[in-house]
Structure 1
Amino acid sequence: MKQSRESSTKLDYSIILIVMCLCLIGIAAIYIASLTNNQYAIDFLIRQLVWLVVGTIIIIIIVKYFDYDRLQQTAYYLYSFGLFLLLLVFAPVIGIERKGAQSWVGTEAINIQPSELMKSFLIVALAKLIWDHTKKTQTRTIKTDFHLFVKISLMTLVPIALIMLQSDLGTSLVLISIMVGMMFISGITWRLLLPVFGGIAAIGTTLIILVIKSPATLTALGFEKYQFNRITSWLEPEQDPLGAGMQLLKSIRAIGSGEIHGSGIGYEAIEIPENHNDFIFTIIGGDFGFVGACVLIVLYFLLVYQIIRVALDIGIPFYSYICTGVVAMIFFHVLQNVGMTIGMLPITGIPLLFISYGGSAMLGSLMAIGLVLSARYNAPKAMDL
């Protein structure tokens, strides 16, 4: 047991190495995007490097100073701080609007997107909520599981409501994925979860079918046409190749042009708007081909695998909940971002973690990794409690 505890005090260098590889790929992809896209005059590469340094410092702070006790003590304070930041985006002077979304605070030169930070804050708060409920509940019943289900849902829906006011559907979906993942690991019975999520899936499927077969029905129910244009432009982009469907069609062509081995660095056959950000996977697929895309996907799978190993190795429920939330966040980000660029899923504003340009996204994702590294590093202290 002593040897096991000593080994668990070490940093998880496998996770650090994988994240470093992903960040290096991201830096290379952003540099390539700057060669092929003159959409903006800002030097994204330098800014991304700065945010990467800041994120690394945050990881060190989390690992060294936010151990088991500190995370337990500050979980709800961090959650409240995240809600405060989400409200701050609506402030007249501090809040910043971009492309129709009121989602940033700060100045035009230096700003952050609070919703990206809220992901990690929510993970810690839900882990605390689930752990407190589990300690107090001696016997699990449908009633106690329902109470936990409601508490988890309410804690998640509050930030989602604020984020939806910012017209940010993508981040709202990420928070929902975190909630669902942590509900599954919380021990809530399948007799409760299956009908709830089955019903939600049935409603979603029905709405998609109505968008395709009978949009007039949705209009009669009070939906506006622009609200389901995102679905039609996903399923039938050829109907509007110069408008709503243009981004998806260009993305598919750019990725397909890479074929097996890629077209080479800086290949400029197809220009994609936002190819430094949400559509950076088109750089990977176009310049490095199927092989490069597969390498990237494998790295993400290895990262998820290593985080799951941390949860299983240390065997501490509170940390396991945190690891589950981080896995759900990473999995949904990768699935949605890659899926939307190849036409498998609707387009939403979700970046590719560690790869896409964006200071807030980088900080948020590195904060989540910091929580996992802290779990591994500080597990022995928690074992002694």
Structure 2
Amino acid sequence: MSLLRALQAPSSGHALRLTALSVSALALAVALGGCGSSKPQPAPLERFQPVAKLGMAWSQRVVGEAETPVSIAVVANTVTVAGTGGEVAQLALDTGKAIWRADLREPLSAGIGSDGRFAAVVTAQNELVVLDRGAPVWRERQSGRVITAPLVAGERVFVQGVDRAVRAYDLRDGRWLWQYQRPGSEPLALSSQGMLTPFRDTLLVGQGPRLVGLDPVRGTVRFDVTVGTPRGTNEVERLADLVGPAARADDELCVRAFQFSVACFELNRGSLRWSRPQAGTQAVAANDNVVVGADSTDRLSAWKTENGDLLWRVDRFTHRGLSAPAIWGDKLAVADREGYLHLLSLADGRNLARIELDAPLAAAPVVVADQLIVLSRKGTVSALRAN
């Protein structure tokens, strides 16, 4: 079974913490974390005359607090979400009505992956929990912390730890199948949503600044390609993990390398098409024509998917804490830390509309047909439409 057919939508989270895999690296991270500095003031909201209308198709508060990293899984006309407190729910995509709800009564560190029937999360105690229509069916303790949402596809569950090790389990009975970890892993890893996504019959995983294509049945390597070699005087400055969720553009995959670059890969060849330097922290959005991402100051840039040529750049959202963006037809949707969702023209980045949500987003927005699915930090799932 094709992994892509088994899973139609990605999930996301973006806590920006460092996980030390050595004592010296941990000391370095703590030392840097103690160096405080005043935060720059966010750019004021720009006044404009809306030329599009944003409206709610439905909105439901279905889980408790949803602090990052959490995620949204949209597949088989369902929306499955999890809150950080352990609540899990599946909704009908067209109406928002609950199909099932569950409460694991323990905090989560990662979630959620789903194939429409089965769902998988990871608890703060490092246990992978698989549910069948909301009922837990098996658990398996992991060797370390997990931040990236599990991937449920092809009758398997794939889990990636913060140590970048990828493990595969049988979906039905929890039987361990294989483990992969690239030799020579860096001593520091980003404690954030990593890169774990399907492409046809290949499993794509991020290993530091490298994209690795694995055989999902055996865990063997099909290709291994890097976005480049990050430079710096220490391990923190050289940190360039691929940040999820990745953006598919036909047979290409476009990704963010943390504080390093934006890159697009040609998946059929397993090769790098182009890379452009941009010191950002959030995932990018892409379609066949355009790739969009924000840098660390929240300046948005758009490049041609084909060759990486710059199309436009806007700086009116600087320091507003932008989320990962989503391409929505000929529009771009992106939210900020104050809870505003902005709708921009994909052609030139001009403002089209704006709506205020009940809280900032907890996960990257997901586009399904003509709807934009968002999850706020208050646990509210909403389906928006634009015209």
Which TM-score tier does this pair reach, normalised by the shorter chain? Answer: under 0.3
Greater gyration radius: 1
Relative to its length, the structure with more strand (as a share) is 2
More RCO (CA 8 Å, sep 6+): 1
TM-score normalised by the chain length of structure 2: 0.24
